[in-house]
């Protein structure tokens, strides 16, 4: 695997209950080392267009042809605006890797979906699709899904793009920017 492989990492900004929208940041990096481009858009909190927004980001960037893989901080942006990673893979022909630091509590998520959405079954179906892998690290484990790429290759890409801690730079950088521009100073971990 080339160390300078081009990766787009996507994360959303923090939001409050009063917000209707939040910002989505895409960070195009060469491996884990060099930031080449920042993309931004907004999505509706708990809306249904996050797959479309990610697709648009990927298709419109001048780095489209160089991108080799997409990384998402989990499978949802803006609350429960679930990204259909299978659809995203099929329409862009780029492997998708989702990474989370915290193990999702699926019982809690299902209850929240049932409580708040008429189309909860559809959201639940999209969110649950695909195997969740637990990947050991020298810190805590991370939880990974991948589409269009074998888990062994996904691990290799995660490793080559992680500098400190356990989160690959494209997601970490997207997170820092999304929180920094929203709150005045970035905080927390992707």
Judge whether 27 and 9 are in contact, CB under 8 Å: yes
Q: Which of 48, 61, 91, 153 binds its own copies (CB under 8 A)?
A: 61
Considering the rule CB under 8 A, would residue 176 count as an interface residue with its own copies? yes
Contact string 112-131 vs its own copies (x = CB under 8 A): --------------------
Please report whether residue 37 would count as binding its own copies according to CB under 8 A: yes
Tokens of 45: 């909190």
In the block, residue with structure tokens 């009063």? 18
Q: Which range of residues in 3-11, 110-118, 134-142, 175-183 is near its own copies by CB under 8 A? A: 175-183
CA distance 31 to 90: 23
Q: Of the listed pieces 38-46, 79-87, 94-102, 137-145, which binds its own copies according to CB under 8 A? A: 38-46
Q: How many CB atoms lie within 10 A of CB 43?
A: 23
Binding residues for its own copies, rule CB under 8 A, total: 25
DSSP string, 122-157: HHHHHHH-SPPEEE--SSS-EEEEEESS-HHHHHHH
111 binds its own copies, rule: CB under 8 A: no
How far are the Cα atoms of 115, 124, 158 from residue 171, in angstroms, in the given order? 30, 24, 10
- Tokens at residue 111, please? 């209850």
Instruction: Give the footprint of its own copies on residues 143-172 (CB under 8 A).
Output: 163-164
Q: Least distance in Å: CB of 140 to its own copies?
A: 21
Which tokens belong to 147? 């589409």
**Least distance (Å) from its own copies to the CB of residue 177?**
5
14 binds its own copies (CB under 8 A): no
Told to check if 41 binds its own copies by CB under 8 A, we report: yes
């Amino acid at each position: 695997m080339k160390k300078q492989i081009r990766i787009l990492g996507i994360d959303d900004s923090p939001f409050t209950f009063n917000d209707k929208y939040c910002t989505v940041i895409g960070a195009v990096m060469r491996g884990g080392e060099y930031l080449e481009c920042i993309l931004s858009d907004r999505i509706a909190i708990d809306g249904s267009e996050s797959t479309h927004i990610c697709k648009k980001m990927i298709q419109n960037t001048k780095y489209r042809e160089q991108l080799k893989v997409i990384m998402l901080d989990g499978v949802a942006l803006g609350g429960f605006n679930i990204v259909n990673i299978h659809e995203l893979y099929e329409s862009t022909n780029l492997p998708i890797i989702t990474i989370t630091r915290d193990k999702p509590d699926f019982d809690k998520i299902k209850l929240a979906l049932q409580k708040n959405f008429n189309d909860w079954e559809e959201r639940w179906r999209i969110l649950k699709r695909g195997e969740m892998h637990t990947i050991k690290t020298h810190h805590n484990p991370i939880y990974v899904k991948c589409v269009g790429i074998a888990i062994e290759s996904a691990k290799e890409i995660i490793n080559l793009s992680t500098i400190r801690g356990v989160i690959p730079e494209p997601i970490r950088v997207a997170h820092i920017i999304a929180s920094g521009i929203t709150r005045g100073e970035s905080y927390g971990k992707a």
